[in-house]
Chains A and B, each alone.
Chain A
Amino acid sequence: MDIILLYLFGSLVIGMLMFFIKNRVINYLLFIPFFALQVLLNVHEIFHINEIEGYYFGGDGEGYFKADGIGIIFLSVITILVVPTVIHSYWYTKHRKETIGSISIYNLSLLLLISMMSCALITRHVAMMWAFIEATTLAASMLIYHERNHAALEATWKYIFVCSIGIAMSFVGILFLGIAAQDAKSLDLTFDALSQNARLMDPMWLKLTFLLIVTGYSVKMGLTPLFTVDIDAKDTAPSPVGALLSGGLLNVGFVAIFRFYEVFSKTEILSWMNTVLMMVGMSSLFFATVYILRVKNIKRLLAYSSLEHAGIALIALASGGIGYFAVIFHLILHALAKSSLFFQVGQMIRVYRHKNIDLISGYYKVNPWGGLVLILGFMAVLGIPPSGIFLTEFYTFKALFMAKHYFVGLWALILLSIIFYGLSRDLLKVLFGEVPPSITHRAVVVYPYETISQWILLSIVFFLGLYPPAFLVEFIQMAVQDLPK
């Protein structure tokens, strides 16, 4: 029995059932078999690591799927995020008293987004990965449109259109790679074949490919140049979706860029690629800093913080050495911390009915448990010890200085300090201060149990920072073993 085929068809069937069964309870219960499929896929891939699977429709004897270290790591992150996302989506729709019609479309799109992201992580064919990533755009656009107001429509339109253009650009990159592959007398566009033949290819085509790939997939990872639609999407989408975009889709975009980087790192363009990644990373960090200082919308603040972390990830990757380890570890921790912040901020917006931080204050008094989650979550993303992100940022700077990028390192430190100031200023404003009078009149019901999933995710972040387990370190080392030393 082919588990991947079972997973794809199973998700499709469950999705169809969600669309057609107009019963609230059954609609949510259908996530149980889906979660079972997700866990089955994840466990199966862990036990079949680096095995080629999925020989369908001839395909010249080439399997389309192979889960390697990096694929399994981020697949597991998505699997961890499935349950909290579904639970928070349930609360979200319940409090907004939504109709079953919009709930069923939401659930179907959520399921498709999760399954397409999972498949994009474990495929080994360049164009297959492209197709899965484009499919995430379509699923995500229905989720961004969920609230069906002016802002949602605008964000959805921009997201789907700019994503389509970006993804089309990366397809041009894939075609250029095909031209380059003809030098190697092989038209096999699997990552394995490409990394074997990369040395025979014309560096000029590889450079063009890499530029187009980084530009195209920057829309998924949320980097310069195409990050703006990503910010709008995370802002207007329901908070649980924002969590999944920051915690899942960002990593999928990174894996897409990483796989090409890995293939091309065997050629002479390695140092050129590092320069490109460094420039993209630094400019992302710069834009994040500028906007974090001036935005007033709490969800956009979180989205810009994701931009910052995506930038740090690329800088770490470009510096090499211990930076390779740091980047993977960093993105795991960021996914867990940022998604718990999105879940909590969603609840906060429900209480204040506003996203503007000028109108939000005294959250700690209104909801002490939630306030504590916010404090810990911001500690985690700001890299305050004992958060694991402190460790990974420390490694990133170590790698930067060891690679003699003193100037970049200094600038990144200055920008990070400004971000630290900007985010903590806004956090203190939101947490403490006077509770607005409108809140005390309103019967605000906040249940402490709604913070359980955030506590679990954040405790994983802090635990991993203090005691990274041996199997995780092994997986990360497996993910980066093919990169140049």
Chain B
Amino acid sequence: MTNLLIIVFVISLIYMASAGRLLTYTKVLFIQGILLSFIALLELTHDISISNLIFIVLETVIFKAIVVPFYFSRLIVKNKMSNERNADNPNFFAIFKVALIIILAYTLSYNLNDEHLHITYFTAAISAIFVGLLMIVRRKKIITHIMGYMVLENGIFLLSMALGSELPLIVNLGILLDLFTSVLLFGLFITKIDELYHSTEIDQLSGLKD
């Protein structure tokens, strides 16, 4: 069952990388949040204390699946952001890139051959991290960069589950607080950038250089 969910998660990565509409990204983030909360529920039930489990599942549902996607879709609609258009880098090729990332991640985790490593988890997590980075590097819109960051965070969440260990509750809380604040600040500053430059393309931000 968990493996199936992880496979759906990986498919959502391919879909995300090939999509161009901003609202599609938020929908995929929502789906990924739901998937991750189910994976956490299934996988961690026997491993960790009940209080920690409730905390992690609630965190994933509320933060990853509800708050962040809805916050960003509101921002996109409010600021009337246009969709991602990039003639040099058609979305069609993105599918190949993501497929390549997944294959490489699988080869890597297979070759690591570590007894503590859950190959499926590790492949999905590393793929998500690199797809997030790919979105940040290749896309032009600032909001897409934030989406890439959230995909990267989802990958890290999956990786932390592959680990199966539990961080103490207070540490989890601190991490959640940090992520939450950074997402709020991302939203705040992207609105400011939109007000000041009347655009949210990253090419606008090229004033500071030596």
Contact = CB atoms under 8 A, between A and B. Distances in A.
Given A157-B193, A179-B114, A58 B163 contact: no
Contacts of B160: 175, 178
Interface stretch (B17-25, B62-70, B169-177): B169-177
Interface in B154-210: 156, 159-160, 163, 165-171, 174-175, 177-178, 181-182, 185-186, 189, 192-193, 196-197, 205, 207-208, 210
Given A134-B178, A168-B153, A150 B207 contact: yes
Contact of B174 (A131, A151, A205, A300): A131
A349 interface: no
Nearest to A128: B171
Interface in A362-384: none
A350 interface: no
Contacts of B80: none
Contact of A57 (B170, B177, B185, B193): B170
B15 interface: no
A14 to B, nearest CB: 19
Given A128-B171, A157-B193, 4 more contacts: A127-B174, A157-B142, A165-B133, A165-B152
B129 A172 contact: yes
Contacts of B142: 157
A127 B171 contact: yes
Contact of A134 (B182, B189, B210): B182
Residue from A154, A155, A187 with most neighbouring chain B CB atoms (10 Å): A154
Given A127-B175, A150-B207, A157 B189 contact: yes
Contacts of A291: 210
Secondary structure call for the B interface: helix
Contacts of B207: 150-151, 154
A347 interface: no
A158 B205 contact: yes
Nearest to A148: B192
B46 interface: no
B141 interface: no
Interface in A174-189: 175, 178-179, 181-183, 187, 189
B162 to A, nearest CB: 8
A164 B148 CA distance: 12
B149 interface: yes
Interface string B99-115: 00000000000001010
A57 B169 contact: yes
Interface stretch (A135-143, A323-331, A410-418): A135-143
Interface stretch (A59-67, A311-319, A421-429): A59-67
Nearest to B159: A175
B182 A164 contact: yes
Interface of B: 112, 114, 116-117, 129, 133, 136, 142, 145, 149, 152-153, 156, 159-160, 163, 165-171, 174-175, 177-178, 181-182, 185-186, 189, 192-193, 196-197, 205, 207-208, 210
Nearest to A62: B168
B178 A138 contact: yes
Contacts of A295: 210
Contact of B149 (A57, A130, A161, A189): A161
B171 A58 contact: no
Nearest to A160: B185
Interface in A291-305: 291, 294-295, 297, 300
Given A137-B182, A141-B185, A172-B156, A154 B208 contact: yes
Contact of A59 (B129, B136, B168, B189): B168
Given A158-B205, A172-B159, A202-B114, A300 B210 contact: yes
A156 B208 CA distance: 11
A53 interface: no
A124 interface: no
Interface in A24-72: 56-60, 62, 64
A131 B114 contact: no
Contacts of A154: 205, 207-208
A178 B166 CA distance: 10
Contact of A294 (B114, B149, B181, B210): B210
A141 to B, nearest CB: 6
A295 B209 CA distance: 9
A151 B208 contact: yes
A156 B142 CA distance: 13
A125 B173 CA distance: 14
Nearest to B166: A187
Can you list the 5 inter-chain pairs with the closest CB atoms, starting with the nearest? A131-B174, A134-B178, A187-B165, A182-B116, A127-B171
B199 to A, nearest CB: 13
A242 B14 CA distance: 42
Given A60-B168, A62-B168, A138-B182, A153 B196 contact: yes
B186 A160 contact: yes
Nearest to A187: B165
A181 B166 CA distance: 13
Interface string A177-218: 011011100010100000000000010110000000000000
A155 B207 CA distance: 9
A131 B152 contact: no
B145 A161 contact: yes
17 contacts: A64-B170, A127-B174, A130-B175, A131-B178, A134-B175, A141-B185, A150-B197, A157-B189, A161-B149, A168-B152, A171-B156, A178-B160, A178-B163, A182-B163, A187-B166, A232-B208, A291-B210
Contacts of B129: 172
A127 B167 contact: yes
A239 interface: no
A131 B167 CA distance: 12
Given A153-B193, A235-B208, A189 B116 contact: no
A85 interface: no
A236 interface: yes
B134 to A, nearest CB: 13
Nearest to B183: A164
Nearest to A229: B208
Contacts of B136: 165
A189 B167 contact: yes
